[in-house]
A and B are shown apart, each in its own frame.
Chain A
């Protein structure tokens, strides 16, 4: 028995800020202090509060240490673990009260969260199957195989109202029942772990923090539809997730939870990993299957739908990682439990990756129907540096920007679509007044131009034309007529593209046009970028009353655009200036401005 457990986050965010060094230092110091038999160090998945990483929690006290450095470790071991005195200066500030500490679940960041998909992340050691089993792991698979028929499994999932967490929100149970109804010698269960939306990292966190839940859910799905083989298609950019999945699959095979005759029921199921190679379009279901087959990841026309002809032309279901993470608990706790959370048409919880201009960047899981205001202001802690909220972007390159007027809309699949955005995989990027909405639309279009697979013309050519129009606007060269043409083109691309990538690519443009048309007009008519982002619409000028003529800026300028004599105010030659801003950073008198 250990008297104390030290949990250190081993997710990508904290690993990037050297949490492995902290673990190594802890183990050395603990051994040196003779505590190796009393204190156990556990490398877990993500705790969610990535902004304050690396994170460490010491149990049984539940002390939440944030921004820990390897040099802090000796103090933690000597003071806390040896003498029982909590190291106050390292505690997460929100948990510190006058005389004692507050539980993590009472802090603003965690209080409104409800963890279903993430319940084991940051709690168990993801590389140890016994820890997963200790928290009811693989019990749902056992229940499904021994107490339920495949149809009953599908009925429970159908009744729970679970919808796909990857973006489109298709009812998971319906997908399963279609595939179950098709007879074939081989069927496949696939997991979409090709999390391509920039700014979304919930699937990665589940894979890194709780890989067995995905394996268990896929086996349950295999039983439900009659498949014996599964594939997990995971981004190669997630090396930690890939490693933990490999470990988990190996352990599950050793325990007989994958392979032949699982639980002695005669049910066979195994899983293989397939690595993506950096193509966003492979998040689209038919493209993903084409990629697993070893081809260019181009989408196929539907119908036939994958439930009829999917991977290798066999009936296939494909679900997202977060969708799977909900399945075992629905089987164990029942459809009514799951239905008790969420809104009328969107049940359960949703994980959001909070990023951008927000204090508490990280992962949050809230019941469907939580408002954007609660997420941004309460859980997220608001906008840093006293800036004003401008928009929240959801749904990645397929979604849209939600302005302040819709902050109180309860978030679910249908409400988000009604206000011109979409759930997507759950990336939620907050933007403040320094973000130019035209520039953001251009940013997303640059992304889609890059990632369009080129198979269909509306997407291949249309998105490029759209990008060029946006570029023209940010250069101040567009007319109002261009704006109308651009809008028409958006609807054309939406209506005519082959797959979801093209059909949703104009959304960032349409939603910013809908809510921030004035910014477009400012770029076109006034030739101004109100947020001060678009370089071509700005001028760098030297304030003659502040300039001392020190010549530092002239010497800094990479293109020799600043002219003037010593001790005489300098002048910017606008014809030469490339607006790089190097002079502004170097000026000691704040005499150079960009506007």
Chain B
């Protein structure tokens, strides 16, 4: 379920670099440090490009292939940047039986991208997720931290309009 967006060059700011170094230093000798470091690094950069993985591998003295292996194993780590607005449609069972598949289809149509992709302008990325745990509001989708529940396919236009579509 990772987002794809080709052709973005990685550039980091000195602040980001400094934060990354702090994160690595604070976890350096802990057992099992790799996961927390990757999670915090993704918070800093929004994704985990190979440049960041190299720094982490060197900083923690873990082979790069192991770092890459962990990054690609877990759905939450992304090798590519996400959109400014991250849309996530719940395809958990409770939402699915209440029609979240139709919501997902409508969003793909409307945005012209497939699940896991990002719009060319970098504004929206679309992913499916498995249960945000708000099953009482099924079907549910989230846009960044905003939760939209009890959705119908026809609600999509109005909601996207709020984000300037």
Binding site for B on A (CB under 8 A): 12-13, 16-17, 50-51, 53, 195-201, 204, 236-238, 274-280, 291-297, 312, 353, 355-357, 361-362, 393, 396, 427, 429, 431, 435, 440, 443-444, 447, 450, 453, 558, 580-581, 585
Whether B35 and A275, one on each chain, are in contact in the complex, defined by CB atoms closer than 8 angstroms, is yes
Looking at the complex, which one of A237, A291, A443 makes contact with B96 (CB distance below 8 Å)?
Answer: A443
Residue of B nearest to A429 (CB): B93
Binding site for A on B (CB under 8 A): 1, 31-36, 38-39, 66, 69-70, 73-77, 90-98, 102, 105, 109, 129-138, 140, 147, 149, 153-154
Whether A12 and B132, one on each chain, are in contact in the complex, defined by CB atoms closer than 8 angstroms, is yes
Whether B33 and A199, one on each chain, are in contact in the complex, defined by CB atoms closer than 8 angstroms, is no
Chain A nearest CB from B28 CB (Å) reads 13
Closest 6 CB pairs of A and B: A50-B136, A198-B92, A355-B94, A278-B75, A277-B74, A16-B147
Whether A280 and B32, one on each chain, are in contact in the complex, defined by CB atoms closer than 8 angstroms, is no
Tell me which residues across on chain B come within 8 A of A393, comparing CB atoms. Answer: 93
Whether B74 and A279, one on each chain, are in contact in the complex, defined by CB atoms closer than 8 angstroms, is yes
Chain B nearest CB from A234 CB (Å) reads 12
Residue of A nearest to B88 (CB): A237
Whether A198 and B31, one on each chain, are in contact in the complex, defined by CB atoms closer than 8 angstroms, is no
Tell me which residues across on chain A come within 8 A of B76, comparing CB atoms. Answer: 236, 277-278
Whether B153 and A585, one on each chain, are in contact in the complex, defined by CB atoms closer than 8 angstroms, is yes
Tell me which residues across on chain B come within 8 A of A447, comparing CB atoms. Answer: 130
Residue of B nearest to A454 (CB): B73
Provide 23 A-B residue pairs closer than 8 Å at the C-beta atoms, listed in order of the A residue. Answer: A13-B136, A16-B134, A16-B149, A17-B147, A17-B149, A198-B96, A199-B92, A201-B133, A236-B39, A237-B132, A294-B33, A294-B34, A294-B35, A294-B70, A295-B34, A296-B70, A296-B73, A356-B98, A357-B98, A443-B93, A443-B96, A450-B1, A580-B105
Looking at the complex, which one of A12, A201, A276, A429 makes contact with B97 (CB distance below 8 Å)?
Answer: A429
Q: Which residue of B90, B91, B105, B131 has the most chain A CB atoms within 10 A of its CB atom?
A: B131
C-alpha spacing A355/B97, complex, angstroms: 9
Chain A nearest CB from B138 CB (Å) reads 6
Residue of B nearest to A533 (CB): B101
Chain B nearest CB from A444 CB (Å) reads 8
Looking at the complex, which one of B36, B93, B129 makes contact with A355 (CB distance below 8 Å)?
Answer: B93
Whether A277 and B131, one on each chain, are in contact in the complex, defined by CB atoms closer than 8 angstroms, is no
C-alpha spacing A288/B1, complex, angstroms: 21
Tell me which residues across on chain B come within 8 A of A198, comparing CB atoms. Answer: 90-96, 130-131
C-alpha spacing A440/B98, complex, angstroms: 12
Tell me which residues across on chain B come within 8 A of A238, comparing CB atoms. Answer: 133
Chain B nearest CB from A438 CB (Å) reads 14
Residue of A nearest to B105 (CB): A580
A356-B93 contact, Cβ under 8 Å, with A294-B33, A295-B70: yes
C-alpha spacing A443/B70, complex, angstroms: 26
Tell me which residues across on chain A come within 8 A of B130, comparing CB atoms. Answer: 196, 198, 280, 447
Q: A275-B35, A279-B73, A294-B34 are in contact. List 17 more A-B contacts (CB 8 A).
A: A12-B134, A16-B137, A50-B134, A50-B135, A199-B92, A199-B94, A201-B135, A237-B131, A277-B39, A279-B75, A293-B32, A296-B73, A362-B136, A427-B93, A435-B97, A440-B97, A447-B130
Tell me which residues across on chain A come within 8 A of B38, comparing CB atoms. Answer: 277
C-alpha spacing A236/B129, complex, angstroms: 13
Whether B93 and A277, one on each chain, are in contact in the complex, defined by CB atoms closer than 8 angstroms, is no
Chain B nearest CB from A376 CB (Å) reads 14
C-alpha spacing A393/B7, complex, angstroms: 44
Tell me which residues across on chain B come within 8 A of A292, comparing CB atoms. Answer: 32, 35
Whether A353 and B135, one on each chain, are in contact in the complex, defined by CB atoms closer than 8 angstroms, is yes
C-alpha spacing A427/B136, complex, angstroms: 13
A50-B36 contact, Cβ under 8 Å, with A201-B131, A429-B94: no
Tell me which residues across on chain A come within 8 A of B94, comparing CB atoms. Answer: 198-199, 355-356, 361, 427, 429
Tell me which residues across on chain B come within 8 A of A429, comparing CB atoms. Answer: 93-94, 97
Residue of A nearest to B67 (CB): A294
Looking at the complex, which one of A12, A17, A293, A440 makes contact with B133 (CB distance below 8 Å)?
Answer: A12
Tell me which residues across on chain B come within 8 A of A297, comparing CB atoms. Answer: 73-74
